[in-house]
Amino acid sequence: MVRYLAGAFQVVLLVVILSDIAISEERTDGYLKLPTEVSRFFRTPEQSSDGGDDSIGTRWAVLIAGSKGYDNYRHQADVCHAYQILKRGGLKDENIVVFMYDDIAYNESNPRPGVIINSPHGSDVYAGVPKDYTGDEVNAKNFLAAILGNKSAITGGSGKVVDSGPNDHIFIYYTDHGAPGVIGMPSKPYLYADELNDALRKKHASGTYKSMVFYLEACEAGSMFDGLLPDGLNIYALTASNTTEGSWCYYCPGQDAGPPPEYSVCLGDFFSIAWLEDSDVHNLRSETLNQQYHNVKNRISYASHATQYGDLKRGVEGLFLYLGSNPENDNYTFVDDNVVRPSSKAVNQRDADLVHFWEKFRKAPEGSSKKEEAQKQILEAMSHRVHIDSSINLIGKLLFGIEKGHKILTAVRSAGHPLVDDWACLRSLVRTFETHCGSLSQYGMKHTRTLANICNAGITEEQMAEAASQACVSIPSNPWSSHDGGFSA
């Protein structure tokens, strides 16, 4: 009788286990599977050692910080942190492509030479990060070529690209300044939404991936996909903000959870910190894309709205497919107590440079050259902002009249509609404005919606040139409005 009961118990246990495996593929509620993640019992030692099984294919990742300069410290810190998560997750360096200008770790302003941190008490995230593309190699052309696996289109760098196959999974993470329909690059021109989505469609047409996840940190990040990224490409995109709002910096001077006192910069970006720290504390074998989305959305909700695009049905998939999983987290369960709680403050991305300059000014000794330099930087930045804003407003009045100008320039299209009808027109008007009025810069990027509206209103390049030449009699010589870096488009 005892043997019969024991045998029956084993049968019931096997049925429960097999049922759990069958149901887990269809779950959308995010509840826990068996604590030990039963599927691991059926892997071979070889499969367990590389963090996956043959059905998963190869995991690929592209990480890119689209800025340069010490005041943009946070972007490269975000990328380095992302690399450490992927590395702990079992991805190999040969499958991780890293773009970062690499001017932060050994910058003279860095209080810890050779070290980059992404949180006040964080460890060094710079150690071991591959330097595939640095300096001027970090550009839109190389970024898109790397995604497409087009080695012949790459200039400089390691030559590493996403040489993926039809069963592979791709994770792309971008962090930098953005604006309606555009994201920045340290080497101009910037990357426009139509170019990015064209590349994604080409990647899909090539049949060289099974699924893709794209995390994008930037102001107005949603405008890079809204009305442009169709269903059916097997691409799930998550953005730091919707189409009309900014994204935010975190661990900044003056915040409750600010950086160590020797730092004068923000250490991370809010959306990025949210998903990175969520990945740090969870078992990615059980956490899904949807679960991370809700955690991130809730954490940053008072600042911006994390937004999903593309094939949202992929949200039920596990993060493990894309990020791998840190073995040290295998026994962690998915509970809200593992979610890092928000602070009460964040800094708008477009104001991070002013925060940095002010901290430099505040800390510098009275009468010192550092005090004078910081004061000059603040005044130049503010002067540039006034110049860009007033020039755009005057152009609107010249083109449409005093009463109609403001309404046309500030119009916002409804959800599901791309920013502009003619992307070539937008790029031509950006170049025309910058020819007569100087570079838009990281701050002035926000006016791409204005320029898109001018295109949508039927204004020609010639009309724009005439209005810009009247609005801008001269181009200020400060670094934010020079042409040294080339055109944004």
Same-domain pairing of 278 and 406:
no
Euclidean distance between CA atoms 272 and 293, whole angstroms? 12
Residue 11 placed within a domain: no
Same-domain pairing of 284 and 413:
no
Please give the structure tokens belonging to residue 467: 């209005």
Rg of the chain over Cα atoms, rounded to whole angstroms, equals: 24
Mean pLDDT of the chain: 87
Band of pLDDT at residue 335, cut at 50, 70 and 90: low
Q: What pTM value is reported for the model?
A: 0.87
Residue 369 placed within a domain: yes
Same-domain pairing of 72 and 191:
yes
Q: How far is CA 9 from CA 3, 19, 40, 256, 401, in A?
A: 10, 15, 22, 55, 82
Give the end of a domain, one of 288, 313, 348.
Answer: 348
Same-domain pairing of 295 and 380:
no
Return the residue matching tokens 């009045």.
397
Residue 148 placed within a domain: yes
- Is 425 among the residues known to form the active site? no
pLDDT tens figures, 248-260: 999 999 888 899 9
What is the three-class DSSP state of 227?
A: coil
Residue 5 placed within a domain: no
What is the three-class DSSP state of 369?
A: helix
Same-domain pairing of 433 and 339:
no
What strand order describes the sheet that includes 59-65? 96-99, 59-65, 169-175, 211-217, 235-239, 307-310
Which domain, by its residues, includes 103? 53-348
Euclidean distance between CA atoms 241 and 179, whole angstroms? 11
Same-domain pairing of 344 and 369:
no
Given 177, 356, 436, 447, which residue is catalytic? 177
Same-domain pairing of 151 and 230:
yes
**Does the structure show a pLDDT above 80 at 389?**
yes
The total number of structural domains in the chain stands at: 2
**Domain CATH code at residue 64:** 3.40.50.1460
- Is 455 among the residues known to form the active site? no
With a CB cutoff of 8 Å and minimum separation 6, the contacts of 56 are 167, 169, 321
Residue 69 placed within a domain: yes
Nearest to 451 by CA among 422, 470, 426: 426
pLDDT tens figures, 106-152: 999 999 999 999 999 999 999 999 999 999 999 999 999 999 999 99
Same-domain pairing of 176 and 128:
yes
What is the three-class DSSP state of 221?
A: helix
378: exposed, middle or buried (Cβ count in 10 Å: 0-12, 13-18, 19+): middle
Nearest to 445 by CA among 488, 395, 399: 488
Same-domain pairing of 136 and 270:
yes
Residue 480 placed within a domain: no
Nearest to 452 by CA among 486, 417, 481, 487: 417
Give me the percent of the chain exceeding a pLDDT of 70: 85
pLDDT tens figures, 286-319: 999 999 999 999 999 999 999 999 999 999 999 9
Given 81, 169, 219, 356, which residue is catalytic? 219
Same-domain pairing of 112 and 195:
yes
